[in-house]
């Protein structure tokens, strides 16, 4: 299964990729992670069905709009949104995000979310 990580923050990318690798082993599901430092690169690669899940970390309206568009174009894709505020939390419920996390996110909370993302 392919998981997309959409973030322009190298530290956040490293942390999420490391935890995804750990969680993949724990739940015994092989995951391939593709990193997209920009929205444009993500949309160039995106096709309905190509990603099992997407972790969106762009924040503010940019992140929410990407998550919403993924949901509109691929209703089966699991979507997790990380943001700095709860500003889009209610909207996230309305588009059926799999999870909405507010930074700073603790490792245990992020690990639990990623395990659910992988289908545990």
pLDDT in tens, 41-99: 999 999 999 999 999 999 779 999 999 999 999 999 999 999 988 888 888 889 999 99
Any idea what the CATH number is for the domain that residue 37 is in? Answer: 3.40.50.2300
As a whole number of angstroms, the distance between CA 55 and CA 20 comes to 10
As a whole number of angstroms, the distance between CA 82 and CA 58 comes to 8
Strands (E), 1-120: 2-6, 32-36, 53-56, 78-83, 99-102
Check residue 49 and give left, alpha or beta (phi > 0: left; psi -120 to 50: alpha): left
**pTM for this entry:** 0.94
- Total residue count of the chain as it appears in this document: 120
Q: Dump pLDDT digits (tens) for 75-88.
A: 999 999 999 888 88
**Total number of domains constituting the chain:** 1
Q: Which domain holds residue 77?
A: 2-117
């Amino acid at each position: 299964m392919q998981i997309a990580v959409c973030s322009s923050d190298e530290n956040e990318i490293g942390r999420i990729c490391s935890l995804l690798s750990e969680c993949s082993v724990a739940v015994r599901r092989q995951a391939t992670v593709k990193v997209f430092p920009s929205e444009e690169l993500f949309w160039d690669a995106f096709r309905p069905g190509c990603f099992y899940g997407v972790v969106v970390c762009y924040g503010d309206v940019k992140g929410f709009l990407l998550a919403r568009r993924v949901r509109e174009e691929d209703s089966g894709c699991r979507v997790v949104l990380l943001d700095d505020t709860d500003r889009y939390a209610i909207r996230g419920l309305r588009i059926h995000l799999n999870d909405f996390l507010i930074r700073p996110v603790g490792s245990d909370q992020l690990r639990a979310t990623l395990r659910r993302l992988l289908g545990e």
